[in-house]
Amino acid sequence: MRRSLMEILCCPVCKGDLLLTVTEENDEEVLEGTLRCEACRADYPISEGIPNLLPQTACEE
């Protein structure tokens, strides 16, 4: 995931701002980490450079 995407991403549940926490990155993109909604406290993982922005309730169904 490119850091520039942070300008357009928002929480899919409440539309709140997302906070990026990086655990691994290269020169071009974030490879591993987490996006956390500051409003509703939902966490969205980033794995292999792909953010999973599916709401948790949708994943459980």
pTM of the full structure: 0.85
Q: What is the pLDDT of residue 61?
A: 47
48: left (phi over 0), alpha (psi -120 to 50) or beta: left
Kindly list the domain boundaries of the chain, sorted by start residue: 3-60
Q: What is the pLDDT of residue 38?
A: 93
Span 2-61, pLDDT tens digits: 999 999 999 999 999 999 999 999 999 999 999 999 999 999 999 999 999 998 764 444
DSSP labels, 18-37: EEEEEEEE-SS-EEEEEEEE
Q: What is the pLDDT of residue 57?
A: 61
Q: What is the pLDDT of residue 45?
A: 97
Q: What is the pLDDT of residue 56?
A: 72
